[in-house]
Amino acid sequence: MKPNTIYCGDACELLDSWKPGCVDLVFADPPFNIGYVYDGYRDDVPDAEYVAWSRRWMATCQRVLRANGSFYIAIGDDFAADIRILGRELGLHLRNWIIWHYTFGQSMKAKFARGHTHIFYFTKDRELFTFNDRQLRFPSARHTEYQDLRANPLGRLPDDVWDEFPRVCGTFKERAGFHGCQMPEALLMRIVMASSNPGDVVLDPFVGSGTTAVAAKRLGRRYVGIDISKSYAKHTEERLAATRNESAAQPHDGEWPALHVEMLLQLYRETKVSLANLLPNEVALRVIAASLSERVGHCYEVVEVRRQFERLAGTKVFPKLPNDTPFVARNHVTTEGKRYQRTIQRLRPRRETKPATEDEVRQVG
Ligand SMILES: C[S@@+](CC[C@H](N)C(=O)[O-])C[C@H]1O[C@@H](n2cnc3c(N)ncnc32)[C@H](O)[C@@H]1O
């Protein structure tokens, strides 16, 4: 196994040839067996075959994982229960069953729209593992709402429902454009930050568009990715060539490195308090400054954090929190408005009884 490499081939066959215990963290997002169209891969095998294959690749990843390593698996509803049971049978320790609740889920016609993915967080050992809690913290409601003196000055940890990471939609700048299942970089950064240290080896056996490897490289970890598709592997290498290790980046003449700005905006998403309420809240800003400093390895003061928020406010990159868009009535005379009116017409029940005209009433009378 050569770190900082993207391998093309079958994950199990390749991993079988690696030395045991050579990686520190595994993140696996396998095909979900739901008939998704991948390059050169059939995603609709019989259920029993899929479960047997899952056991095989999970055991293979477990073998190459170091004794204190962590193993995350993203999976859809159909096989989440199987993966949990396989984890138990293989002797993995479940630390969290995370629900990634995303916005921009696919809409449905005859059932509730799907808006989540399961992420299992297993460790190889029950007690020995890396968990960098200080880098994950953000202000709690005790800081933001109640100004409660019992609030932990370091902030709180995220819970096991993650709703701060929108799905990477087609229109997003982050979209690499060659893979339909690209995961958000910010989500992978949380996992890499939590369960590995700089220099550690992070493996993704189904690397797809390369998100795990990109997050690992940006944060100064070593990556290894595998994908069965030549085309995905090639595009991932290109994506990685355009990615830098930003773990040592420092501000220069008051300019923040891109990673620091992204981390600050992610903290804003996690805090879920509008900027107008956040800026005067010294206690919450102190937690944000402390957590940001832990995440990026540079000590930021509250005054710098406040100034950076003010600079970013109103720019395109500033995240929109749910319901924080002021309502402005649309002008329905515009084309958009007409299209909307037509849609409304179509949705109305077809047979509307027209009220009788005055003439008709007179004739009957
Ligand atoms: C759900 S996608 C992963 C997406 C990835 N997490 C991302 O953010 O882009 C699953 C990937 O597994 C790959 N794959 C399927 N079978 C494989 C196998 N046996 N070995 C290695 N890769 C495989 C597919 O080509 C696909 O790119």
What distance in angstroms lies between residue 74's CA and the mean position of ligand 1's atoms?
A: 11
CB of residue 215 inside a 6 A radius of ligand 1:
no
Residue range 299-307: average pLDDT? Answer: 97
| Mean per-residue pLDDT, 251-259 | 94
Q: Is the CB of 206 under 6 A from ligand 1?
A: yes
CA of 112 to the centre of ligand 1 (A): 27
Distance of CA 199 from the midpoint of ligand 1 (Å): 24
Q: Give burial (CB, 10 Å; 0-12/13-18/19+) of 189.
A: buried
Does residue 41 line the site of ligand 1, with CB under 6 A? yes
182 ligand 1 Cβ < 6 A: yes
Q: Which residue of 207, 212, 232 sits with most ligand 1 atoms within 8 Å of its CB, as the best mutation to test the pocket? A: 207
Closest residue to atom 22 of ligand 1, CA basis: 227
Residues 72-114 have pLDDT tens digits of 999 999 999 999 999 999 999 999 999 999 976 677 788 888 8
Residue 326 has pLDDT above 80, yes or no: no
Q: Which domains does the chain have, with CATH numbers?
A: 5-241 (3.40.50.150), 248-347 (no CATH)
Q: How far is the CA of 246 from the centre of ligand 1 (A)?
A: 26
Is 183's pLDDT higher than 70?
Answer: yes
Q: Which of 189, 338, 155, 163 is nearest to 260 (CA)?
A: 189
For residues 283 and 318, what is the distance between their CA atoms, to the nearest angstrom? 22
Burial of 364 (0-12, 13-18, 19+ CB in 10 A): exposed
Dihedrals phi, psi of 15, to nearest 5 degrees:
-65, -30
